């Protein structure tokens, strides 16, 4: 099986552990991720201004790249990239006037009318690969690992691009069960991590991050899994500051969901890239006697 794949900027720099694990896992499952040629930054966030069409050009150009590649689907890993591409795609499908304006502006590109379907990797795993295929390929079941399922904002909002209805955590739960882990639902699973407030108002971001992490701890989770590099930055990279300010009672190991998939499939460190995770994340896996 071959599918077009949009990586986005951060996966080539700070979040290589999200991408490397996914690409290796797909190869192990018989899927060829065909990276888009000449892709550009998606713009990172969907503009909230109704008449701000220039910010739709970047994601639409990426969708044109997928169309040029002969694909009717494009898969993304990063939650924010998924949200931005999916919302731009809906605009091009549903708003004839804005579609014409954007296509006229991109006069050197082929006209785009929403021919490509944007999929998040979790949806692709469930609907195209199948949980049974994943389950049957597992070599290192993650038995005994209690994992909080963190969705954040952009996988669940707005409703017309959500990977499942807000408040429904079946897809990530089914994923974790397929690789042998124990999914842990918790009240703050869809609460914003603080997003870019970590730059403008770090104290506010630390407050909300602390609330999310402590909610996972109280629910009995040993670790947390997510799919957004910005969420990983706030909840993992900045976690020492949150802990130092006594906003959480203990460290919480944080992983990208693709890393747990790669480990369960028996892939090595070159694929899993736990060297880019926090020390407590590696220690938990060692204590559970998982290969890291």
Q: What DSSP designation does 256 have?
A: E
Assign 76 to helix, strand or coil. Answer: strand
Topology classification of domain 2-121:
Glutathione S-transferase Yfyf (Class Pi); Chain A, domain 2 (1.20.1050)
In degrees, rounded to 5, the angle at the alpha carbon of residue 192 between the alpha carbons of residues 47 and 33 is 70
Average pLDDT along the chain: 96
Which residue stretches of the chain are H helix? 16-28, 57-68, 79-94, 96-105, 121-124, 131-137, 170-178, 197-200, 202-218, 229-232, 239-244, 257-264, 269-272, 279-287
pLDDT-derived band at 165 (thresholds 50, 70, 90) equals confident
The rounded percent of the chain whose pLDDT value lies above 90 is: 95
> Which residues have a Cβ under 8 Å from the Cβ of 201 and sit 6 or more positions away?
none
Taking only the tens place, the pLDDT of each residue in 65-102 is 999 999 999 999 999 999 999 999 999 999 999 999 99
144-163 pLDDT, tens digit per residue, is: 999 999 999 999 999 999 99
Please name the residues in contact with 187: beta carbons below 8 A apart, sequence gap of 6 or more.
215, 219
Residue 49 has what pLDDT? 87
**Predicted pLDDT at 219:** 98
Domain boundaries, the chain: 2-121, 131-287
131-287 CATH choice from 1.20.58.1030, 3.40.50.740, 3.40.50.11810, 3.40.630.30: 3.40.50.11810
* Per-residue model confidence as pLDDT tens digits over 117-131: 999 999 999 999 999
| pLDDT for residue 246 | 96
pLDDT at 48 over 90: no
**Residue 23 phi/psi, 5° resolution?**
-65, -45
Whether the Cβ atoms of residue 92 and residue 101 lie closer than 8 Å to each other = no
């Amino acid at each position: 099986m071959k599918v077009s794949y949009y990586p986005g900027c951060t996966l080539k720099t700070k979040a290589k552990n999200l991408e490397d694990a996914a690409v290796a896992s797909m190869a192990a499952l018989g899927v060829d991720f065909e990276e888009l040629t000449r892709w550009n930054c998606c713009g990172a966030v969907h503009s909230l201004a109704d008449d701000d069409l220039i910010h739709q050009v970047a994601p639409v150009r990426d969708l044109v790249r997928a169309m040029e590649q002969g694909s009717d689907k494009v898969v993304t890993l990063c939650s924010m990239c998924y949200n931005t591409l999916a919302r731009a795609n809906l605009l091009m499908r549903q708003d004839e006037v804005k579609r014409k304006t954007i296509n006229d502006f991109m006069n050197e590109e082929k006209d785009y009318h929403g021919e490509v379907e944007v999929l998040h990797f979790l949806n692709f795993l469930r609907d195209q690969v199948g949980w049974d295929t994943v389950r049957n390929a597992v070599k290192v079941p993650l038995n005994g690992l209690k994992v909080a399922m963190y969705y954040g904002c952009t996988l669940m909002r707005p409703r017309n691009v959500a990977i499942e209805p807000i408040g429904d955590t079946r897809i990530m739960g089914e994923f974790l069960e397929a690789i042998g882990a124990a999914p842990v639902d918790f009240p703050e699973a869809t609460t914003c991590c603080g997003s870019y407030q970590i730059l403008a108002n770090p104290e506010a971001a630390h407050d909300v991050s602390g609330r999310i992490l402590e909610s996972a701890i109280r629910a009995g989770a040993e670790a947390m899994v997510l799919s957004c590099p910005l969420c990983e930055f706030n909840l993992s990279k900045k976690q020492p500051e949150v802990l130092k300010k006594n906003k959480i009672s203990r460290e919480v190991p944080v992983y990208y969901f693709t890393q747990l998939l790669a480990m369960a499939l028996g892939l090595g460190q070159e694929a899993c890239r736990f060297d880019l995770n926090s020390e407590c994340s590696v220690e938990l896996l060692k204590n559970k006697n998982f290969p890291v």
